[in-house]
């Protein structure tokens, strides 16, 4: 049985070219602009921050379940806008996860793979978005 934990609400007008976005609580209030134009944020930046923040939460969930310490986790996130040959668009995601308290490379990769199974963003994009993960500099599979 599924249970809704939280629902975010926002309104966007003007789209990605000259838009404005605001969350229902007013905490997020941004200008939306194309990449490299300045004066605002683009959707890919928002997705990169949101996915990395969510993934760090998933890492914390895995660590609590396993009673392990990850240290001060850091995630470098990149989201690419990709034009396909059929004139559609997609995105690709790369996340480099640093787990300073996990010295064993295989353990770090296992933890990141477990977080990828738990993370809501990972579950929402699985099979539709190419996601590349590294743990302490080592490629993570699955």
- Beta bridge pairs of residue 81: 91
Q: Hey, what domains does the chain have and what are their CATH numbers? A: 1-41 (2.20.25.10), 43-140 (3.30.300.20)
Alpha-helical segments (H) within 67-119 = 105-118
* DSSP reduced 3-state for 65: helix
* DSSP reduced 3-state for 100: coil
Residue range 7-52, pLDDT digits in tens: 999 999 999 899 999 999 999 999 999 988 889 999 999 999 999 9
- Beta bridge pairs of residue 93: 79, 131
Q: CA 111 to CA 66: how far, in whole Å?
A: 9
* DSSP reduced 3-state for 46: helix
Distance of CA 15 to the CA centre of its chain: 21
Query: Quick check: 19 and 13 in contact, CB under 8 A?
Result: yes
Q: For the chain, what is the radius of gyration of the CA atoms? A: 17
Please state the pTM of the whole predicted model. Answer: 0.93
Residue range 93-114, pLDDT digits in tens: 999 999 999 999 999 999 999 9
């Amino acid at each position: 049985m599924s249970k809704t934990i939280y629902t975010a609400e926002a309104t966007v007008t003007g789209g990605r070219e000259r838009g404005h976005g605001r969350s229902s609580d007013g905490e997020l209030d941004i200008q939306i602009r194309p990449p490299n134009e300045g004066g605002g944020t683009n959707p890919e930046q928002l997705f990169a921050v949101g996915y990395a923040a969510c993934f760090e939460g998933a890492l914390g969930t895995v660590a609590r379940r396993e009673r392990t310490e990850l240290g001060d986790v850091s995630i470098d996130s990149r989201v690419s806008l990709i034009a396909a040959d059929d004139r559609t668009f997609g995105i690709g995601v790369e996340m480099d996860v640093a787990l300073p308290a996990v010295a064993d490379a295989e353990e770090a990769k296992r933890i990141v793979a477990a977080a990828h199974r738990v993370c809501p963003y990972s579950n929402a994009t699985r099979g539709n978005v190419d996601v590349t993960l590294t743990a302490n500099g080592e490629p993570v599979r699955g």
